[in-house]
Amino acid sequence: MSNKATMCRVPFACLFILIVALIIAPCQYVSAGGGDDLEETKLEVGTEERKDMSLTVYNSDIALVKDTRMIQFSRGLNLVELSGLATSMDPTSVSFASLTDPSTLRTVEHNFDYGVVTRQTLLEKYIGERIWLIVDGVRMSARLISVDEQGRLIVDLEGRIVLDPQGSIELPPLPSGFITRPTLVWHAEAERAQEHEVEITYLTGGLNWSADYVCILDDKDKSCALTGWVTLDNKSGTTYRDARLKLIAGDIHRLAEAGPVRSAPKAMMVSESAFDTGMGFEEKPGFEYHTYALPGKTTVANNQLKQVQLLAAPRVQSGKLYFLERTTSHYVYERSLTPGQSETISAKTVLEFVNNEESGLGLPLPAGRVRAYKISSDGSMDFIGEDAISHTPRDETIRLYVGDAFDVIGERIVTDFKIIEKSREEAYCVKVRNRKDEDVEVAVVERFYGDWTISSPVPYEKWDANTVVFRVKVPRGSEVEILFRLHTESK
């Protein structure tokens, strides 16, 4: 009887163990991160976990940021709160990539919380709640009724409604859900507990750069010293410490914004220049643009203007040109001309040099402003004007209009004018006067529109369908005349 009872109890015990095992195994699986009911792991990742930073800035108020950080993931779903990012970032451009083991880390979603706490948003959280007013050391309980955009309060103080109460305000603990700095929340699922080197890539506004040049002309007007500086302006809302910096020169195509653009928080601008003459940019072509990479690393602080030397060409062969051209052009419907009518114009002074190695340069030059100075015979230096250049590749000619000549002027006189049916005849005398103590060469530019032809005893060249140029040499203290007749057919 006892043997039979024992045989009955053994299968029952085995069955019980099997049932318990089936119940415990799924529970272990869920707790390890294999089920949908897994509790998420929250990770706060700041700039202390940053391993590397790369910053590529375009001259169109946009930059590409590559931020590499070391993150220890738990198995299952991880909520990673990333701080220290640009407040002007474009959340739709964000991407994450594990450089350690991409196959074991999957992105579920990400959110960018930029509603940073302010006085108004904080007080609005306490509307209807009890707060404390402290006046002359006395702490009084009050109920907050409302707060306006300027942070002015209306409170219920012991049954009395008080507007703009005096004293300081003490609040209960900070409500949940408030953030004190812009934060990117990344939901990532990891196959196992592991530390990953993660690269966060995104585009941001608020970063721009421009080129500024200084051109110092020698006392003979035959050569100049050209120095280029990069001016980097950071208003993106964060500081990029020890970043590898790269600048892109060129016009990239961007789509118009589909909706209103979220602006970065306003901040007081603190101008700060950092002149680093020990490191210069290395230029390389990239796609259809030009890239300027700064060797080593640098820090680009928020709300800072930073200048780094781009180039230094101590001796560039240059020349000085004079152009005479009227402010308006000839149109076929112009009927206000009368014989004897005249106008006086000053010649434009232009500095010219070729961007090649033979001239002492030969570098792709980003668009920017050029300030021109001149060294006098006594060694002093004067500011003589400024102009802007566009993106200029090698072997192109650069012309800088720096101002109007004081001693080179032109007088343009209408000597004949008549209209015959659908045609018109005009005759002109352009007098070029040189009041300088040296001989000069002047280019007289005339522009016409319509079906036109000209005749002149003075040689000229046709630049395009609407422009002709007379080049004349004018001895010092003398005058040269240019005569030409213009025939225009109107339709």
483 shares its domain with 337:
yes
Specify if 360 maps to a domain: no
Specify if 21 maps to a domain: no
Of 154, 188, 204, the residue that ends a domain is 204
Instruction: Please report, for residues 147, 276, 489, the alpha-carbon distance to residue 279 in angstroms, rounded to integers and kept in the order given.
Output: 53, 6, 61
432 shares its domain with 485:
yes
77 shares its domain with 46:
yes
96 shares its domain with 48:
yes
Specify if 199 maps to a domain: yes
166 shares its domain with 45:
no
How confident is the model over 174-200, as a mean pLDDT? 81
CATH number of the domain at 165, please: 2.30.30.100
Residue 358 has pLDDT above 90, yes or no: yes
125 shares its domain with 109:
no
Radius of gyration of the chain measured on its C-alpha atoms: 37
The predicted structure's pLDDT at residue 63: 92
Specify if 26 maps to a domain: no
Sheet containing strand 368-375, edge to edge, reads: 304-317, 223-234, 207-217, 368-375, 381-389
What integer best gives the mean pLDDT of the chain?
Answer: 81
144 shares its domain with 96:
no
Specify if 477 maps to a domain: yes
Specify if 23 maps to a domain: no
64 shares its domain with 100:
yes
Residue 280 has pLDDT above 80, yes or no: no
Predicted confidence (pLDDT) per residue in 16-59, tens digit: 444 444 444 443 333 333 344 455 788 989 889 999 999 999 88
Predicted confidence (pLDDT) per residue in 389-439, tens digit: 988 888 999 999 999 999 999 999 999 988 887 888 889 999 999 999 999
Lowest mean pLDDT among 143-152, 155-164, 248-257, 272-281: 272-281
Specify if 223 maps to a domain: no
Specify if 369 maps to a domain: no
Query: How far is C-alpha 121 from the chain's CA centre?
Result: 31
From the list 241, 230, 243, the residue with the least C-alpha distance to 296 is 243
Higher pLDDT, 332 or 479: 479
373's tokens: 């100075």
The pLDDT > 70 percentage for the chain reads 78
Task: Identify the domain containing residue 104 by its residue range.
Answer: 41-115+180-204
Lowest mean pLDDT among 44-53, 115-124, 151-160: 115-124
How confident is the model over 256-276, as a mean pLDDT? 39
**pTM above threshold 0.85:** no
Domain count, the chain: 3
57 shares its domain with 162:
no
334 shares its domain with 450:
yes
The predicted structure's pLDDT at residue 264: 38
Predicted confidence (pLDDT) per residue in 220-246, tens digit: 888 999 999 988 999 998 999 999 998
How confident is the model over 355-367, as a mean pLDDT? 90
51 shares its domain with 166:
no
CATH number of the domain at 190, please: 2.60.40
